[in-house]
Amino acid sequence: MCQGHAGAIVVAKVAGTDEIIDGYNSLAWDNLTSGFMETNDSFIFSLKNGNIQNSLISRVKDQSKALSYYNSNLQNFFGLCFGHCEFMMKSHVSDFTQDKLCWCDYDPKCRTYYEKPIRTTTERFSITDYEVFKIIKKQISNCTI
């Protein structure tokens, strides 16, 4: 999905709602690697009900497990995963729109790697559409103000 790209933001529309959930990964996605990846720059967030006041951002609190990578054998089922499934894209039909296998899990009784949940439910869902954007840091040289 984002193989080899660093500084990517994923924007996903939750099916049957007016909710948009997002995640930013500062590291390069690597389908040759599996396991937890360390960074303090990643975050997840949600935009709810078309109202910016209802939006949530959740930053990494345990940078050693900010992201979960799945190797190429599992890439047919798993998209991105932030933390321990605080935002996970998964599908057996590879487009995330049909089988309600995506989720945002957050159980304060268990170990969590982001500050807070970005959804009020742990119900699994499908995604009607998603986009991946590469964030490019623009450098301006010889700029005087």
In a domain, 1, yes or no: no
What value does the mean pLDDT take over residues 90-113?
Answer: 85
Question: In terms of residue numbers, what domain contains 21?
Answer: 8-134
In a domain, 81, yes or no: yes
**pLDDT exceeds cutoff 90 at 86:** yes
Cα torsion through 69, 54, 47, 56, rounded to 10: -20
Buried b (16+ CB within 10 A) or exposed e, 19-38: bbbbbbbbbebbbeebebbe
Residue-wise pLDDT for 13-52, tens only, equals 999 999 999 999 999 877 778 889 999 999 999 998 777 8
Stated pTM of the model:
0.83
26: its two tokens: 């500062």
Domain count, the chain: 1
In a domain, 94, yes or no: yes
92: its two tokens: 């057996």
In a domain, 101, yes or no: yes
In a domain, 35, yes or no: yes
Taking residue 106's Cβ as centre, other Cβ atoms within 10 Å add up to 22
In a domain, 143, yes or no: no
In a domain, 3, yes or no: no
Alpha carbon distance 68, 81 (integer Å): 5
In a domain, 37, yes or no: yes
